[in-house]
Amino acid sequence: MTMPPTWTDAKHILCLRLDTIGDLLMTTPAIRALKQSQPGRHITLMTSPAGAQVAPFIPEVDDTLIYDAPWMKATAHRPNSQTERAMADQLRQAGFDAAVIFTTFSQSPLPAAFLCYLAEIPLRLAHCHENPYQLLTDWLRDLEPTQFIRHEVRRHLDLVASVGGRTADDRLSLKVPAGAPNRVQRLLEERGVDVERPFLVMHPGVSAPSRQYPPEQFAEVARLLAVEHGWQILFTGSGAEDALVAGIQQEMGVPSVSLANALDLGELGALLHLSPLLIANNTGPVHVAAAVGTPVVDLYALTNPQHTPWAVPHRVLFHDVPCKYCFKSVCPEGHHNCLRLVTPHEVVQAVQELLAQAHTFAPQPLTEVLP
């Protein structure tokens, strides 16, 4: 008589997180818990093209599958289901013992569960608001957001704990690749940064307009930190954020350095590890900073409460508003008061307080960046 499969016996586990960089980083403690709970486990990550940018830097991940799921909002329309049929066949041939589907509470796990069901993966775990019947073999009823809201990291740790996945280390996971520190050193020298003097990193961009601290207020924060406190200001951003950074630099009226579109993700991790602090909106680099242990001043729009910096010193700044926790990408009220009413002086004060708490007033030598 064949015994049913158990999580204790599962050696080859598929972890599905189909979101972006920050979401995947907040899942890494749970992936570590799965990896460490049974010897010899092999973890394959299925993620989006955006998430795949950080996957090579997560040491707990052994293999990566890139998949644009049609039930995710960023995926372009496609005319038929051939991609899904091919992916189900690929997963079936891989012979996974188990699959863990990581979602926010606003996402349904059932499309991914159906894909894993078609692939004949014998164990399938997720949070779910409704009874999944045969699509999931193991599930936790999703009580968010009606009864409570957890941090995203805690949500995923609780999920894997239900099948025995535990770790003593719940920090985010990101390993800065060899060579990135030296490349950053050269780039800083080329851009005229004096690494013997203190500098701070500011990341003013964000994907959702509802989470954007006003650029003119970013500029005033940068000006105050440079003029009144003597900090060199380094801006980071994607190629699409070049114009945003350039506008802030012009508005602040004092010298600063733009590294927008100049760093890959590993180099961004190296730079943030070098910096004593990051100032940013609620966006992916906040979680990169947390993963490398850098304190964060997070200009945190009250669109949602569960993505604050994890396991590092931080200040979360916002103005309380009646419309908070709208979960919208565009401010439904049009006033952005949860961020706009946070003054630049409040941001500077938070920076000073956090630096005093963290005792990191000068950059660390690049040779101390993670190997």
Domain locations along the chain:
12-161, 180-365
Task: Tell me if residue 281 falls in helix, strand or coil.
Answer: strand
CA distance readout (Å), 53 to 168, 192, 264:
27, 28, 9
CA distance readout (Å), 320 to 129, 150, 188, 300, 315:
29, 19, 38, 11, 15
The pair of structure tokens assigned to 273 is 């590890």
Torsion angle defined by CA atoms of residues 40, 61, 36 and 120, in that order, rounded to the nearest 10 degrees: -70
Is residue 1 very low, low, confident or very high in pLDDT (cuts 50, 70, 90)?
low
Q: What pairs with residue 78 in β-bridges?
A: none
The pLDDT of residue 329:
85
Phi-psi category of residue 40: left, alpha or beta, with phi > 0 → left and psi -120 to 50 → alpha: left
What average pLDDT does range 277-293 have in this prediction? Answer: 96
The pLDDT of residue 371:
29
Residue recorded with tokens 């005319």: 79
Rounded Cα distance between 193 and 236, Å, is 14
Q: Is the pLDDT of residue 369 over 80?
A: no
Q: What is the mean pLDDT of the chain?
A: 92
Task: Tell me if residue 155 falls in helix, strand or coil.
Answer: helix
Q: Is the pLDDT of residue 366 over 50?
A: no
**Residue 19: partners with Cβ closer than 8 Å, 6 or more residues away:** 47, 48, 50, 51, 72, 104
What average pLDDT does range 85-112 have in this prediction? Answer: 97
Residue recorded with tokens 């520190």: 181
Q: Is the pLDDT of residue 26 over 90?
A: yes
What average pLDDT does range 10-22 have in this prediction? Answer: 96
Comparing 12-161 with 180-365, is the CATH topology the same? Answer: yes
Least confident segment among 73-82, 143-152, 160-169, 334-343:
73-82
Least confident segment among 18-27, 29-38, 110-119, 297-306:
297-306
Whether 30 contacts 160, CB under 8 Å: yes
Q: Is the pLDDT of residue 2 over 80?
A: no
Q: In this predicted model, which residue has the larger pLDDT, 239 or 1?
A: 239
- Return the closest-CA partner of residue 120 out of 139, 141, 140, 134: 134
∠ Cα 131 135 140 (to 5°): 50
- Is the pTM higher than 0.85? yes
The pLDDT of residue 4:
80
Task: Tell me if residue 269 falls in helix, strand or coil.
Answer: helix
What average pLDDT does range 146-160 have in this prediction? Answer: 96
The pLDDT of residue 209:
87
Q: Is the pLDDT of residue 157 over 50?
A: yes
Fold that domain 12-161 belongs to in CATH: Rossmann fold (3.40.50)
The pLDDT of residue 154:
97
Q: 174-230 pLDDT, tens per residue?
A: 999 989 999 999 999 999 999 888 999 999 999 888 899 999 999 999 999 999 999
The pLDDT of residue 182:
92
Q: What DSSP state is assigned to residue 2?
A: P
Q: 298-326 pLDDT, tens per residue?
A: 999 888 889 999 999 999 999 888 888 88
Q: Is the pLDDT of residue 336 over 50?
A: yes
Whether 176 contacts 291, CB under 8 Å: no
The pLDDT of residue 359:
58
Q: 103-136 pLDDT, tens per residue?
A: 999 999 999 999 999 999 999 999 999 999 999 9
Cβ atoms within 10 Å, residue 45: 25
Q: Is the pLDDT of residue 235 over 60?
A: yes
**12-17/42-47 β-pairing:** parallel
What percentage of residues in the chain have a pLDDT greater than 70?
Answer: 96
**Residue 108: partners with Cβ closer than 8 Å, 6 or more residues away:** 71, 128, 129
Burial class, 147, CB count within 10 angstroms (exposed 0-12 / middle 13-18 / buried 19+): exposed
The pLDDT of residue 75:
84
What average pLDDT does range 254-258 have in this prediction? Answer: 95
The pLDDT of residue 76:
85
**Domain 180-365's class?**
alpha beta
Rounded Cα distance between 4 and 158, Å, is 24
